């Protein structure tokens, strides 16, 4: 892709007077590294703000799309606000001119910005805002697809297999239309459904849902050239890897997990962090999960070590581009990996080392304290306490310390509106209480 990237640099740097060369096309934006993407976003602002700009609402809509992609790759809240604001201004302009189809597109882009905010920052209220915005517009395949995505998010947090299948079926109609009209949009929507199925499969330990996710991913992969749509291709590979890991764990079969690690390793080599930092962090997080699963299945110290390396790669990027939801997920996976490695080896010293690492990270938070990081570290420490009690065969006060840590973390997540992470803390706390009741009986 190096030759293509060089050509794009020349093209996009050649003559800024031509305006926004991508014209808000998400597929073309995938080819731009982060520096070029930011340049394109600023150029979109100039084009939309120029006195006498031709079709200013359309220029604003293009700006909204580009700034949203900047936010998606970097978790930049300012970029996301620019995207939402530009989409709203575009909608107002289209409404004044009586351009209903264009106004509907602008409304959808407002909703997409809100949904992205929910993904990046864990604020579930933004999903409700997106649903309200979509309900104000006229019906269309893309609107129905966005509503299906919102329905899927509710099922991901809670719901059984039947609810997951019902949510999956809501994608069928929009996909059928988009496959004929807009294949890139269809691929993105199919990825959303595959994520729903794989995520529910992981929570419910259901192989059917993993199989369905893999089928969707395989369809999305057909005709998808990584040279021209590298980020969509990477996303599909990430979903395939995650689903294969879950399938292997559900069937207690290392074969699919080995396949996942191979797929994810190839995908990770395809991207650099300066192209899309958060996509790079996500692929290394899932690769870490695959390696940790191999370590668990084969009691392999080397696999755990490699998994910790992958989580470390992801966290280094996330320190520069902090997405609370993703950073929390990676940190929790890393903590779980450290604890399981110690448990399988029966190594209390390794648990002591893990506790020391987490406490040193707490001490390094500084002032003002990053509350999200503090709460995640409390969850990490709780895992160490629980594992130590299990390794000792008796509770020497670890359960109480774990409960205090989890309660503190849950309070912070609830105060910050980080519902998806709060659910994880609440589940850990409930498991701890159930375990304590069983021991008491």
pLDDT digits (tens, 9 = 90+) for 335-379: 889 988 888 877 788 888 888 888 888 887 766 777 888 888 898
What's the CA angle centered on 51, arms 47 and 55, to 5 degrees? 60
Residue 282 pLDDT exceeds 90: yes
- In Å, how far from its chain's centre is CA 59? 29
So what's the pLDDT on residue 16? 41
Could you tell me the pLDDT band of residue 18, with boundaries at 50, 70 and 90?
very low
252: three-class secondary structure by DSSP: coil
So what's the pLDDT on residue 11? 45
So what's the pLDDT on residue 388? 85
Helix (H) or strand (E) holding 430: helix 419-440
CA distance 350 to 157: 33
User: 406: exposed, middle or buried (C-beta count within 10 Å: 0-12, 13-18, 19+)?
Assistant: buried
Mean pLDDT rounded to a whole number for the chain: 87
CA distances from 127 to 156, 208, 279 (A): 13, 27, 21
What's the CA angle centered on 289, arms 288 and 290, to 5 degrees? 90
So what's the pLDDT on residue 438? 58
So what's the pLDDT on residue 21? 53
In this prediction the pTM is 0.86
Sign of CA dihedral 223, 225, 228, 231: positive
Q: Among 113, 117, 111, 148, which Cα is nearest to 419's?
A: 117
Could you tell me the pLDDT band of residue 241, with boundaries at 50, 70 and 90?
very high
pLDDT for 294-339, tens place per residue? 999 988 889 999 999 999 999 999 999 988 888 888 988 998 899 8
Domain ranges across the chain? 10-138, 346-441
- End-to-end CA gap in the chain: 62
Most confident of 126-130, 226-230, 244-248: 244-248
CA distance 58 to 56: 5
- Other beta carbons within 10 angstroms of residue 250's beta carbon come to 18
Tell me the DSSP string of 340-352: HHHHHHT-HHHHH
- 17-21 average pLDDT score: 47
365: three-class secondary structure by DSSP: coil
- In Å, how far from its chain's centre is CA 175? 22
Helix (H) or strand (E) holding 150: helix 141-157
So what's the pLDDT on residue 20? 52
């Amino acid at each position: 892709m190096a030759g293509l990237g060089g050509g794009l640099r020349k093209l996009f740097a050649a003559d800024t007077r031509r305006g926004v060369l991508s014209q808000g096309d998400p597929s073309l934006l995938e080819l731009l590294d982060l520096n070029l993407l930011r340049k394109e976003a600023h150029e979109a602002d100039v084009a939309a703000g120029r006195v006498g700009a031709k079709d200013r609402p359309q220029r604003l809509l293009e700006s909204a799309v580009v700034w949203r992609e900047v936010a998606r790759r970097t978790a930049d809240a300012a970029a996301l606000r620019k995207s939402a604001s530009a989409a709203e201004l575009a909608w107002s302009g289209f409404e004044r001119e009586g351009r209903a189809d264009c106004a509907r597109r602008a409304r959808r882009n407002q909703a997409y910005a809100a949904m992205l905010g929910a993904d990046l920052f864990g604020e579930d209220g933004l999903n409700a805002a997106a649903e309200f915005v979509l309900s104000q517009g006229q019906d269309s395949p893309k609107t129905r697809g966005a509503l299906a995505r919102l329905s899927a998010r509710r099922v991901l947090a809670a719901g059984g297999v039947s609810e997951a299948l019902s949510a999956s079926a809501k994608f069928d109609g929009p996909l059928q239309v988009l496959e004929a009209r807009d294949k890139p949009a269809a691929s993105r929507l199919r990825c959303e459904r595959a994520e729903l199925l794989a995520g529910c499969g992981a929570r419910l330990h259901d192989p059917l849902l993993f199989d369905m996710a893999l089928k969707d991913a395989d369809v999305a992969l057909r005709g998808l050239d990584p040279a021209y749509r590298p980020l969509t291709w990477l996303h599909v590979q990430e979903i395939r890897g995650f689903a294969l890991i879950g399938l292997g764990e559900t069937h207690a079969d290392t074969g699919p997990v080995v396949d996942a690690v191979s797929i994810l390793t190839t995908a990770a080599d395809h991207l650099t962090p300066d192209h899309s930092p958060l996509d790079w962090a996500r692929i290394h997080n899932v690769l870490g999960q695959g390696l940790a699963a191999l370590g668990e299945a084969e009691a392999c110290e080397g696999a755990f070590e490699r998994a910790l390396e992958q989580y470390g790669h992801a966290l280094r990027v996330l320190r520069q581009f902090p997405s609370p939801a993703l950073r929390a997920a990676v940190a929790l996976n890393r903590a779980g990996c450290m604890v399981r490695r110690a448990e399988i080896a029966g190594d209390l010293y390794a648990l002591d080392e893990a506790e020391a690492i987490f406490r040193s990270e707490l001490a390094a938070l500084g002032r003002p304290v990053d509350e999200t990081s503090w709460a995640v570290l409390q969850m990490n420490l709780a895992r160490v306490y629980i594992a130590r009690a299990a390794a000792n065969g008796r509770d020497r006060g670890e359960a109480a310390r774990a409960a205090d840590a989890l309660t503190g973390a849950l309070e912070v997540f609830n105060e910050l509106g980080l519902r998806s992470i709060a659910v994880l803390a609440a589940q850990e706390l409930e498991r701890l209480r159930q375990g304590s009741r069983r021991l008491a009986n």
